Structure 1
């Protein structure tokens, strides 16, 4: 379907003074400032997200350092715990850039959500952000035992979420009830992205992703690590997954392919398309009604997956979910 009208107007407005400066031409500080300015939402009041309370904590990491985490609690008894990993290409993004989206997530699912401020490239390249994400997930499991534990991530955070699940599978836990993967990058070769219909012009470009991979995994020899090249990793025995994609996103096809690879490995997967939407739409729900509708549909699929009897999802398959 056509690009959503509001998104089209937004992109036109952003380009009124010419195309935005490519990420690789910005300093790291300027790139982070631009991302934060575009992502932070003013608190308008009166919505469900305003019932969520927060508290900041510190989590110790494997190398003796520590990271910040923000714990979001709904105003009801939580139904699940979620370790959330923000997007931003492993380079930009932080707790504040995703604050509104995480509040909405906690409110919609009645979940206690732990948003982890993992260290970012290029100061801390792979595998440091992954190790921080692993530490955050283990902290969540210790602090909130007894609740179904979901791994959730937005873009680069979705990529890290799968790496956390691989580590947990191979190193004795913790156990996860499901993964919520929002438009995940899964192919560091970017072959699928380069061949897609929309490689640039829709808020994320293939060149942006190539630049971020260069910063996150500067050693080409490590691009083949299972926690980096997710599309070719051994995906057996991972948690069930909801994989959301966006139509006008260079990462769309590799997200779809990843859901198919999960199913081929015996992992239940529900692939939710985002008709007319762009990469990052989960952060745009308050601005774009179509993004809010699709995001609600994605969360409905997660809730349904968590509620399904184990024997009903024992055989891996991809369930393509119609556009919402």
Structure 2
């Protein structure tokens, strides 16, 4: 039975924020291969929504459908209030798309790449040059603007790629695995760019196989598996789907350890390691309860460690048949 996050009920006078992207029942097959099996999405404006899933799960196909690059076999979707089937040109006028593979032309300079995009958006010569200069400066590419893009590093090419996407001032951006192949510094620079875009009110639909990336950036995450959404929620909600969270107390004094066990009756004892393991979701309330019980008994633990599932655990639980991981990650407190 798939894991799921139940929707939270809301008051009638507290409406949901407007949706930048909405989809119902999207299906897509290639020959006899079913890639999307009826997915529903609702992405609020001004947010980051991440699609996770293994290779072949349907992430890129979803982006291609919503950006009108291909058509769905069944289902309906709206982007910026425009129907993707009946008003594809209106959709294209409001979006920007950065694919897995760079659209940068390495034979021309960075500035020429930007001006080419300005021409495609039918901007005047002066307006195109102004916007190109502003975006090159914003993405720290001014010094390299006159150099052939083939001489750029991977991180510079990705920055140029995103800058080219922004020439038309899109309010919705599709980023399909934007940091694939980048070094850690370039990845973090790209994350900062995405955060800046969202701070300006841009909506971002992000596909990624980097779970830490989704955890860092996304307001909500949907996990795709076998063409269906296996679960959707905030990063915190998805982590709470996976059982196994607990608090571990370790003692160096055997007498303190023996006194602590009766004060925490739900704890699992490890007499050899002098440790107690208490089931917990890691919340502040539960931690306070545990510490209050120790204080009431006049006992102090030498080490307290909170073990919480992370998105790796969620991903493997949802996309494999091996079940819930045995050992959640731990964070020392």
Give the TM bin, normalised by the shorter chain: under 0.3
Higher Cα Rg, which structure: 2
Per the normalisation by structure 1, the TM-score is 0.27
Q: Kindly indicate which of the two structures has a greater share of residues assigned to strand.
A: 2
TM-score (norm 2): 0.26
The structure richer in helix per residue is: 1
Q: Which has the higher contact order (CA 8 A, sep 6+)?
A: 2
